[in-house]
Amino acid sequence: MSSTSPITSPNSPLFLTHCKITLPIQLSNDTVPEKVVVQKNSPRGVHFRRAGPRQRVYFEPEDVKACIVTCGGLCPGLNTVIRELVCGLSHMYNVNDVFGIQNGYKGFYSSNYLRMTPKSVNDIHKRGGTVLGSSRGGHDTHKIVDNIQDRGINQVYIIGGDGTQKGAYEIFKEIRRRGLKVAVAGIPKTIDNDIAVIDKSFGFDTAVEEAQRAIDAAHVEASSAENGIGLVKLMGRYSGFIAMYATLASRDVDCCLIPESLFYLEGEGGLFEYIERRLKENNHMVIVVAEGAGQDLIAKSIPVADQLDASGNKLLLDVGLWLTHKIKDHCKSKKMEMTIKYIDPTYMIRAIPSNASDNVYCTLLAHSAIHGAMAGYSFTVGMVNGRHAYIPFHRVTSTRSKVKITDRMWARLLSSTNQPSFLSKEDIMEAREAERLANRLPVPAGSSEHTKKHSASVLSNGEK
Ligand X SMILES: O=P(O)(O)OC[C@H]1O[C@](O)(CO)[C@@H](O)[C@@H]1O
Active-site amino acid positions: 192
- Residue 235 binds which of Mg ion, ligand X, ligand ATP, none (CB < 5-8 A, kind-dependent): ligand X
Contacts 24+ apart (CB under 8 A), 3-6: 3/55, 3/56, 3/57, 4/55, 4/56, 4/57, 6/55
Site for ligand ATP contains 147 (CB under 6 A): no
Residue 382 marked ligand-binding: no
136 binds ligand ATP (CB under 6 A): yes
Contacted entry of ligand ATP, Mg ion, ligand X, none for residue 226, CB cut-off 5 to 8 Å set by kind: none
Q: How far apart are CA 86 and CA 71, in angstroms?
A: 18
167 near ligand ATP, rule: CB under 6 A = yes
Among ligand ATP, ligand X, Mg ion, none, what binds residue 167 when CB lies within 5 to 8 Å by partner kind? ligand ATP
- Considering only the stretches 61-69, 110-118, 186-194, 321-329, report the one whose residues sit in contact with ligand X under the rule CB under 6 A: 186-194
- Which residues within the stretch 148-167 sit at the binding site for Mg ion (CB under 5 A)? 161-163
Confirm whether residue 58 is marked as ligand binding.
Answer: no
DSSP 124: G
CA-to-CA separations, 134 to 73, 78, 130, in angstroms, rounded: 7, 10, 7
Cα 330 vs. chain centroid, distance in angstroms? Answer: 36
Residue 306 CA to residue 315 CA, distance in Å, equals: 7
Q: Minimum CB separation from ligand ATP for residue 141, in Å? A: 7
Residue of 170, 174, 192, 209 that binds ligand X (CB under 6 A)? 192
The closest of 132, 224, 146 to 180, measured between CA atoms, is 146
Nearer to ligand X, 145 or 319 (CB): 319
Tell me the closest approach of the beta carbon of residue 128 to ligand ATP, in angstroms: 15
Residue 235 touching ligand X (CB under 6 A): yes
Considering only CA atoms, which of 264, 247, 191, 246 is closest in space to residue 415? 247
Q: Is 237 annotated in some ligand binding site?
A: yes
What is d(CA 232, CA 216) in angstroms, rounded to the nearest whole number? 10
> Does the protein bind ligand ATP through residue 346 (CB under 6 A)?
no
190 appears as a binding residue in the annotation: yes
Q: Is residue 236 within 8 Å of 289, Cβ to Cβ?
A: no
**Annotated binding-site ranges for substrate:** 190-192, 235-237, 291, 347-350
Catalog residues that contact ligand X under the rule CB under 6 A. Answer: 73, 161, 190-192, 235-237, 291, 309, 350
